[in-house]
Structure 1
């Protein structure tokens, strides 16, 4: 579970709006730019408080380092990272508005051939990530938009 800071902020630039989802390592929140410089939305991933510990925090930090190195138009880019006022590590990522690939396929009643073509499009960013030696342990139909 994500423990929001008492201010409802992930950083000096983003205010948390609403939860988007929860995975094995963290909870993701929709956030909006709030410093007045310009408007923008982001996805903020917090490390689950129940998982806090040296090994898991190190893995979360490594995830941020890897995301910072990924430059591909089909991969959400890392905007910022840090630790909240209550000591919870977070990653601020580009927000991609969409739906999971399986829900898209079902909603559009795609047959096998269009589903395969769509799946092949997903392989380009996966190949890019693997090219920098990143094993995508969390890839699933829920993380492909």
Structure 2
């Protein structure tokens, strides 16, 4: 009288309770995403321009603090960023495009800053001496 005490009779051994359709496909069988070269180029150029802008801000700080010419500070810092991106960055298509964009921004930015180097001047504000502080007097 005591038969098999298996709760799920007449079903496959691999059957599990739960929602139907939860089967997972093997990642090897799924297709890789379609390449979008235009989108990759746009993303690489935007990332390179943002990096160039940040380096330009650092070059302005070096100009104001140490009097280092703007084209020299910009060129040295962005050359270091480009070299680090080439050595430590990923070797896939996106990483190579970002490195190429950084190199393009480095060359064009340094050349343009070198051309306009005579027009770049940091002048202090027209504060010649601090205002005199007078205690005990009301302003008139």
> Same fold by TM (over 0.5)?
no
TM-score interval, smaller chain: under 0.3
Q: Which has the larger radius of gyration?
A: 2
Question: TM-score normalized by structure 2?
Answer: 0.24
Structure 1 or 2: more helix by fraction: 2
Structure 1 or 2: more strand by fraction: 1
Question: TM-score normalized by structure 1?
Answer: 0.23
